[in-house]
Amino acid sequence: MNKLNKMRVSVGLAFSMMAMSAGWAQSTEPVQNFPSKPITVVVTFPVGGGTDILARLLGNHFTEAFGQSAIVENRAGASGNVGAKYVAEKAPDGYSLLMVNSSYAINPGVFSSMPFDPKKDLSPIINVAFVPSVLVVPADSPYKQLSALIAAAKPAKNPVSFGSCGNGTPQHLAGAVLNINGKVNMTHVPYTGCGPALRDVMGGQIPMAIITASSAAPHIKSGKLLALGITSAERTSQLPNVPTVAEQGFPGYQINQWHGLLVPSQTSPALQAKLYERVMKIVQMPEVKEKLLSMGYTPAYDDPAAFKKIVHEDIDRFSSLAKTLGLKSD
């Protein structure tokens, strides 16, 4: 064997060993046979939040679409970085999916260091839905309108705190932008997800929270919470009587949130295409679309290329915005 061939063999062996040690050697299972066992969907936030609710809705239909069930696993922490790192290090065999929201694109701008590379280590598969957030207060709150909350938050001696779904989440960003636009300094209280923040605002532990509309809507409709404003540019059909923040004196205010599935970046294009095709079929099921709309989601069907463009552009956009706002989570 000549020196060149020896070098090629050595490099090939070294690369294979690196792949095996990193846990991302590509699957040898033929794509046409996939899946042959249940698929794990890792959610980056706790049970009860919008991302979790959406993952479980999709997971309920995996047997119909894939012929195998879904195992939904919550791995919360660091605004989604814990779960994302976990999936980034899994084998690229299609059996580990990551359910994320826009926090995935915000985190690089607010954390001084990331435990993985969000542009290189994970590949977007499908954007399944958009959802706005809503500013909510306890039903017995003295703040019955957004203007009353802003007025109360203006005096420096009387700070008003707001809970969010975590550092670096769209809800954190929504509060920070409102601070700038409203010329107030509300104190941010980050939670590990929308579920915990929701429980505390309903219990009166915090005076206000910014929560995904899908999580908060049932409690708004039941009278346990009062909604002060929606963060999207237009009112949502789920809560048609709740005005947008923009129409209450903050023109141009808009913070929306996408939710989608990602896989380890070494997953083969053929397997990524199959995952997209099957999940898209779930999102297009009439009962799923109806449920999404009833919860305040706008269904989406962005394919891997389109969703990758959304994610990467948002990483750049939110990094710039976080720098402008001076947002830091660590």
Q: Cβ(170)–Cβ(103) under 8 Å? A: yes
DSSP line for 86-148: HHHTS-SSSSEEEEEETHHHHHHHHSSS-SS-TTTSEEEEEEEEEEEEEEEEETT-S--SHHH
CA-angle at 182, arms to 326 and 131, nearest 5°: 75
Can you give the pTM of this predicted structure? 0.78
Residues written for the chain = 330
- Please report, in tens digits, the pLDDT of each residue of the chain (330 residues total): 554 444 333 434 343 444 444 445 556 688 999 999 999 999 998 888 888 989 999 999 999 999 999 999 999 988 899 999 999 999 999 999 999 999 999 999 989 899 999 999 999 999 999 999 999 999 999 999 999 999 999 877 677 999 999 888 899 999 999 999 999 989 999 998 888 999 999 999 999 999 999 889 999 999 999 999 999 989 988 899 999 999 999 999 988 899 999 999 999 999 999 999 999 999 999 999 999 988 888 899 999 999 999 999 999 988 988 888 888 776
Topology, domain 30-130+257-325: D-Maltodextrin-Binding Protein; domain 2 (3.40.190)
Residue 18's pLDDT is 41
| Topology (CATH) of 132-248 | D-Maltodextrin-Binding Protein; domain 2 (3.40.190)
What pLDDT score does 295 carry? 83
**135: Cα separation from own chain's centroid:** 18
pLDDT number for residue 157: 67
Q: Which residues pair with 209 in a beta bridge?
A: 136, 163
Report the C-alpha gap between 233 and 217 in whole angstroms. 18
Instruction: Measure the CA–CA gap between 274 and 218, rounded to whole angstroms.
Output: 35
Q: What is the pLDDT of residue 11?
A: 37
Phi, psi of 243 (to 5 degrees): -70, 155
Give the whole-angstrom CA distance, residue 50 versus residue 157: 34
Q: In the chain, which residues fall in CATH 3.40.190.150?
A: 30-130+257-325
The residue among 203, 226, 207, 188 whose CA lies nearest residue 329 is: 188
Q: What CA dihedral angle connects 43, 46, 51 and 57, to 10 degrees?
A: 80
Handedness of CA 295, 61, 300, 285 (dihedral sign): negative
Cite the residue boundaries of each domain of the chain with CATH code 3.40.190.10: 132-248
Between strands 298-302 and 209-212, the pairing is unpaired
